Amino acid sequence: MAPLPMRKLGQGFEVSCLGLGLMGMTAFYSTDPVPSSDCIATIRRAIERGCTFFDTAELELLDEGKIRHIGVSEVSAADLRKAAAIAPISAYQLEWSLWSRDAEAEIIPLCRELGIGIVSYSPLGRGFLSGTIKSPADLSEDDFRRVGQPRFAEEAFKKNMEMVEKLRAVATRKGCTPSQLALAWVLAQGDDVVPIPGTRRTKYLEENLSAADIVLSADELAELSQAFAPEAVSGQRYDQANMSATFHYGSDSKK
């Protein structure tokens, strides 16, 4: 099995083209217990597959002065310019997927203007684009997606599922899974983009990493982009309280 291709973020920070988000291994989404052995096995397998980018908070290393590259997450365009003027920024982390494309108007072009790599968190729409979540009832009562994300509310969910069915149809035609197709779309947005899908299970890790082998034609990319036009998505990606922590609000904004 071929190792994952590498990509460069910012000033030469080289990582695998797909990373592994680790927030899902915590109680962020739900308090349902997850066997630590499963999580450890997934991380070990990711390393074996050549994954070199693990999204977690190494605060101790920062305090010890061992961090060589700086990244920011969901800051406004104005704040990003300020930060880049103070120190080199290697990566900007934001939610970017077929389902969340509001950053394409300003943030993405600015990152490229400043030479900053782009790290896409929730590239599978917090699991929605996998097609495995059939209704909000599939999520536990305390799941963050049910209580903090309007897109998972009953009416919005039904409308958004229409787009997932289009994704599933293209994936079937392509001979891959909806998750792989969604990740391939993100990967195709540029060599400066590194998606970090999260999972607790090794089988889903294998599925996600295999997206690196999928090549989409210009027609397929256009078809997907049209099917997931931003105006077609129902509901905000966060409720108002959480949205205030995104790039839509700068440090000087009144929240």
Instruction: Report the alpha-carbon distance of residue 148 to residue 126 in Å, rounded.
Output: 12
Q: Would residue 162 count as lying in a domain? A: yes
Q: Would residue 252 count as lying in a domain? A: no
How many domains are there within the chain? 1
Instruction: Report the alpha-carbon distance of residue 211 to residue 160 in Å, rounded.
Output: 23
pLDDT (tens digit per residue) in 170-195: 999 999 999 999 999 999 999 999 99
Q: Would residue 94 count as lying in a domain? A: yes
- Asked if residue 146 has pLDDT above 90, the reply is no
Give the residue-averaged pLDDT of 36-45.
92
What tokens appear for 250 in the block? 């700068």
Q: What CATH number does the domain containing 238 carry?
A: 3.20.20.100
**Cβ partners under 8 Å of residue 237, min gap 6:** 95, 99, 100, 102, 149, 150, 151, 243
Contact of 56 with 20, CB cutoff 8 Å: no
Look up the pTM and report it: 0.89
Q: Would residue 119 count as lying in a domain? A: yes
Q: 181 lies in which domain range?
A: 6-243
Q: Would residue 14 count as lying in a domain? A: yes
Q: Would residue 238 count as lying in a domain? A: yes
pLDDT number for residue 93 = 95
Q: Could you give the percent of the chain with pLDDT greater than 70?
A: 90
Q: Would residue 122 count as lying in a domain? A: yes
pLDDT band for position 57 (50/70/90)? low
- Asked if residue 242 has pLDDT above 80, the reply is no
Give the residue-averaged pLDDT of 222-231.
95
Q: Would residue 52 count as lying in a domain? A: yes
Contact of 19 with 53, CB cutoff 8 Å: yes
Give the residue-averaged pLDDT of 15-26.
89
Instruction: Report the alpha-carbon distance of residue 111 to residue 196 in Å, rounded.
Output: 18
